Structure 1
Amino acid sequence: MAHEPDGQEREQRPAVRLARLLRRWWEEAGSPPGGTRPTQQALASRLGIDQTTLSRYLNPKHASTAPPRVVEALHAHLRAPATELARARELCRAALEGNSRQGTAGDGPELTGGTGTADGTGGRGSPGRLRSRWTLPALVAAVVPAFVAGMVVGGQHAPPPPRSAAEDTAGSVPLSGVPIEWPLLMKRKEDQFTRARALQHLLMAHGYEVKADGFFGNETQDAVMGFQRRHNLPSDGKVGKDTWPALVRTVGPGAHGHAVLALQELLHNTGLGGTEVSGEFTAATVEDLRYFQSRHGLSPTGRADVDSWLALLVFQRPPVDTPAYQRSTGPHGVRLPLPRA
């Protein structure tokens, strides 16, 4: 029988202790003379996450582990005691490591039959928490006979054929076990939010003059068709499983430019909390990317490869408003100088 933690043991879990600490920061934010505690809605807006997610981070009874970037942002926004930041970071690290050891880090629906949500929160409780009803002895008892039967019937256990390069980019995250496909973007009048802006930044990274405004119009379609012709792809102006893998670039620490802007746009809108969209692949970008990779069954390298781009493009949530960093730029979005030929 699986062990259920009693009340005292649960209170000692790093995730619960972290949630208590973060909630105290929030509750005490209005304590100084003249201080005003922000509402959770206003605070969530500043952090770039939704209010429901923030409420989970601040709820010890149903504690969800806030990522490091959110912990640090809360400390700054709430003007929490400087001496408590190191403790919060330590609790955050311990909670994330505990989730990883227990196999609870992920963004799919729960394996026990619980319902997940489209934004990867996994329903009630910790976001994306995976709970398996299989214990190790039961798993071994189920797997070994099946393996032996396969050996008998097949006569030998031949290794699977190697995957081709085309299969590697066709649409699956290798360590997650959940097949996903590249999203399809095409010319539409409505704002397509972050995916369209990421597409436009990637086009600019390849030397095409477009606006990163999130609208897939004639300008973006012409650039897509030009890119497709240059790379011997069907020039239909639609961005799907053939065009995305050719557009994305492997980027990592020290990189800068439009490909990094595209990556940060996507990270910012995954609900992890406030990735800075600067065009510079900073240490904070590495940390956010590693956290995203670990939650989606990818190797947490801190470098954006094809599989990371695929997962980032799939696990997006629609923003409730134009990102704050774009409001001062008008409808044309962020522009950087085009790369030299």
Structure 2
Amino acid sequence: MALSSIKQIRELKIQGASNVALFVLDSLLKEGRRSKSKDPKKFYERILELAFRLAVARPTEPAARNALAFVLTRLEQADKSSVASIKRELSASVGEMKRLIDEIQRKTIEVASNRIPENGTILTHCHSSTVVKAISLAHRRGKKVEVICTETRPRYQGRITAKELASAGVSTTLIVDSAVRKFMKEVDLVLVGADVVCSNGAVINKIGTSMIAAIAKEHRVPLVVACGSYKFDPLTEVGYLEMIEERSPREVLPFPIKGVKVKNPAFDVTPADYVDAIACEEGLVPPIELRNVFKKKFEINMKFLEEFHKILKSK
């Protein structure tokens, strides 16, 4: 089960940072429930091992790492005198984290939806379930919106966004990534998700986001990032740099060309100056303020995050 879960994450079978976070929580809980171990020490060590393996399945997934660190922090403080007591705390802490994610997502969707202008044209990039739900909510409430989706090479996640929005009845246009500048003059708002928000307010999202942000700024089009506080990476506050995942060259060039190298970073960094606001559970906040929202919500032992980071760096 654990190996299958890790493979699904690595192969992008699970799309979106929030969905990955929920998936790793469910995977950890299922493994815990399935265990026949009678030894509490061995059982706890097995849960730790699984959590660490899930946490480092992909480099740029702080939402998943935060979720797992939240659970491990609770388990560390809990009664571990029996397997049953550990299982109870595992179930309770996973349930609490999932409840928090659900509540944060719901509020974030509401805030982002309210920011969408009437009769406006929205530009999106990649696939964010939060963005799709926010636009769909605005549409259901009677706002007339047009959406332009970038196809988002090389994995074409923008096609997923376009399909979901069209299925919700939203007027949707799909464009190639390189056409963004041509269409920006028609756009009233750029609305994207995020995989990571750093302590300086920089946003890490699908490759191409920073290019779109620069074009939006040039055209004086506001860019809003819709993401909950659990996407904040607290390690960036103490000097750690977020790792940018490098994907397989075959995603870009299925058949190698002699003498040609391929670089395929999955994400890029958009400076805080290019982000007008983050739509999160507390409302519209400046990018640098998301760390304060995170601190109010989550109690996490940093040692777990630091250990995750060490493993990722050693790979």
Same fold flag (TM > 0.5): no
Q: Which bracket does the TM-score occupy, shorter chain normalised?
A: under 0.3
TM-score (norm 2): 0.23
Higher Cα Rg, which structure:
1
Question: Which structure carries more relative contact order (alpha carbon 8 Å, separation 6+)?
Answer: 2
TM-score (norm 1): 0.21
